[in-house]
Amino acid sequence: MTVPPGKDPAPAPPGMLPAPEIAAILSGTHSNPFAVLGVHAAGKTYVARCFVPGAETVIAETLSGKELGTLERRDEAGFFEGPVALRKEQPIRYRARNDGGEWTVIDPYSFGPVLGPMDDYYIREGSHLRLFDKMGAHPIRHDGAEGFHFAVWAPNARRVSVVGSFNDWDGRRHVMRLRVDTGIWEIFIPGVPVGTPYKYEIVDSNGTLLPLKADPFARRSELRPDTASMTADEIAQNWEDEAHRRHWAEIDPRRQPISIYEVHAASWQRRDNGDMLTWDELAERLIPYCVDMGFTHIEFLPISEYPYDPSWGYQTTGLYAPTARFGEPEGFARFVNGCHKVGIGVILDWVPAHFPTDEHGLRWFDGTALYEHADPRQGFHPDWNTAIYNFGRQEVVAFLVNNALYWAEKFHVDGLRVDAVASMLYLDYSRKHGEWVPNEYGGNENLEAVRFLQTMNTRIYGIHQGVLTIAEESTSWPKVSHPVHAGGLGFGFKWNMGFMHDTLQYLSREPVHRKFHHNDMTFGLLYAFSENFVLPLSHDEVVHGKGSLIAKMAGDDWQKFANLRAYYGFMWGYPGKKLLFMGQEFAQWREWSEDRGLDWNLLEYNLHEGMRRLVRDLNGTYRSKPALHARDCEGDGFEWLIADDRENSVFAWLRKAPGEKLVAVVTNFTPVYREHYDIPLPVAGRWKEVLNTDAEIYGGSGKGNGGAVHAEKRANGETIATITLPPLATLMLEQD
């Protein structure tokens, strides 16, 4: 409808829309298209209005095809309006024609809302625990039509539209309905197929059109470098893991063997042409490998959608979408199911601390600091150039808590390892004086983040018994793995970063100097039972110039391998659950890189294959001997035998569990072969040598005790075993 300059538009016919409102619809500036588009009462009759670009004629019909009337074209851009033969408001469709042919459009504005008042209530309260079923894009049947329901939180936006290939990315076509009480926009769009790219077109409160935004709740995304969200079916997986899940729900994980293989899915192995493996290909290779190696869990670096490969997934733009790098989300569900069928758990690295500033992501989502703090002293992370979530906003907390629940429910994951917890807990983390805002009491503790973590852990453990949460927390914050009701953060476990730092520092020293740093190996036992610890030799230790674990060891090549074997034996005998990053089980020389597969060819060499066999046997011994795992988190499961032989750099302790055979762990961290070395043991008699890291099968020198040692009670009342200590080796001796 074109009006000559200086003239007022002609008045609309009775019951028809005024020209300014039509112009607002066509320009995408109408404040509430649902008030005018679709079917509306006009006195005792009903009128239908639609915007169908490119149409020359439009006939209104019921969804079953009954003709209701021909609409008048009020504007050449494609605005149609006219009376329809209806007795009530109901969904309708339009048969549109032009010179190119005929097509049918179901009117999204003739459908009522999908969300209800109870959703509004729980969302406002911050207690909605099924947002992942309500927000984002979900296939539903609504008032007789199949399509997708879209919902997104953008309380400060003037307009939000769904755009995609189904509407030529035209933001005027599917403007959403605002639920004023919650700031959530929603619309049901009939006929949208599964696998369709879409984004949200948002106009901020000032009328500025923002960059297109991906869906924060998208359950599937395009493959990078494309950044659109994709419509997805609900996960249809025939789960065969009841026994696995029931086991972990019924036991105390602190008293179970937990040995975790940390994996970066994009670089564990690659195809011959360098392409990444799909989830199904990973299942064929990785699951049998972990079964053979004796690991109890696989922990993946973040697999939620992320735009930049070198971030390893730690800068995610799609917390609800398994990355498209490895195929569709159903592939990941099949992978988890396959793991569970053979008794392997799956843990995901989860990143609720921060998010990247890519324009299609959460940053400045509706033209305001919505997910992040507006104050950069609280909302911007200087180390990573990322935005920090606003943990004081209940909608943000609900978004994150629901995400944790989502992975547990929809994909049956066994645990979440929460990244960068220390950066969340401290307001002055990596900030100088004056660059941070104190809390209400003047301290540096982020009380809002504390409450978020406590809420998240309470919800996870309350709803999904058997799912673990593990904190990567590098400071001495108290009670990280203590229950919330006891003043703790509520995590199941905490990474023992001190163990990793101290022991690697010790092993990097030449053996002749180790006696001066004996405390590096004993200090950890002062706090070993203050938390439920996981001992991590993680990806962080083998990147950014730090070198691989084998490269960190002191000495020539023979000593490096012997040191690492002795270290692994020491660690598997030490109290705490175990974690080892991929490639370190066969002593890869090269530092890890995310853009290539591991150096599997090294297994052709005896020393590397020997290391792999050792890790496999350590896992087997750890899992089969309750003394080595059943009291990992309790002081009564550990007793020093030799703690102060710094001259010889020898350490020995006892591992024990009620009613189980005792296991003694003895480590010689010098290359000196020691015969006739006395160690105290609590029981006289024969002790089997159940593991020796110097065995020839592991690439060692083959020194040892012929399979057993004998402890005898001496005149002074002590029970002593005189043993042979191989060079740079760890022995495990079990009471016979």
* pLDDT tens-digit readout, 173-188: 999 999 999 999 999 9
Domain ranges in the chain are: 17-104, 115-229, 239-493, 495-626, 633-733
CA distance 637 to 529: 10
For residue 137, give both structure tokens: 């894009």
Task: Supply φ then ψ for residue 119, to 5 degrees.
Answer: -60, -45
CA distance 49 to 18: 12
CATH number of 633-733: 2.60.40.1180
Instruction: Specify the 3-state DSSP secondary structure of 612.
Output: helix
CA distance 359 to 593: 27
* pLDDT tens-digit readout, 19-64: 999 999 999 999 899 999 999 998 888 999 999 999 999 999 999 9
Residue carrying structure tokens 């984004």? 199
C-alpha to C-alpha distances, 245 to 177, 300, 344, 462, 466, nearest whole angstrom: 41, 19, 11, 15, 7
Residue carrying structure tokens 């995400």? 403
The confidence score (pLDDT) of residue 544 equals: 85
CATH number of 239-493: 3.20.20.80
Q: How confident is the model at residue 622 (pLDDT cuts 50, 70, 90)?
A: very high
603: Cα within 13 Å, side-chain hemisphere: 10
* pLDDT tens-digit readout, 78-125: 999 999 999 888 999 999 999 999 999 999 999 999 999 999 999 998
pLDDT at 368 over 50: yes
Per DSSP bridges, beta strands 468-471 and 493-495 are: parallel
680: Cα within 13 Å, side-chain hemisphere: 11
pLDDT averaged over the chain? 95
pTM score, whole prediction: 0.94
Class in CATH terms, 17-104: mainly beta
- Distinct helix (H) and strand (E) counts, the chain: 15, 35
User: Hey, CA dihedral for 515, 520, 521, 525, is it positive or negative?
Assistant: positive
Catalytic residues: 419, 472
Class in CATH terms, 115-229: mainly beta
CB atoms within 10 A of CB 329: 25
* pLDDT tens-digit readout, 390-428: 999 999 999 999 999 999 999 999 999 999 999 999 999
456: Cα within 13 Å, side-chain hemisphere: 36
Per DSSP bridges, beta strands 177-179 and 159-164 are: unpaired
Task: Supply φ then ψ for residue 306, to 5 degrees.
Answer: -145, 145
What do you get for the CA distance between the two ends of the chain, in Å? 96
CA distance 250 to 235: 26
- Which residues make Cβ contacts (< 8 Å) with residue 403, sequence separation at least 6? 132, 319, 320, 350, 352
Residue carrying structure tokens 């939180």? 153
In this structure, whether the domain defined by 495-626 belongs to CATH 2.40.50.140 is answered with no
Same fold, 115-229 and 495-626: no
* pLDDT tens-digit readout, 559-577: 999 999 999 999 999 999 9
User: Exposed/middle/buried for 431, CB within 10 Å: 0-12, 13-18, 19+?
Assistant: middle
CA-based nearest residue to 472, from 493, 452, 445, 488: 493
Chain centroid offset of residue 422 CA: 17
Contact (CB, 8 A) for 298 and 202:
no
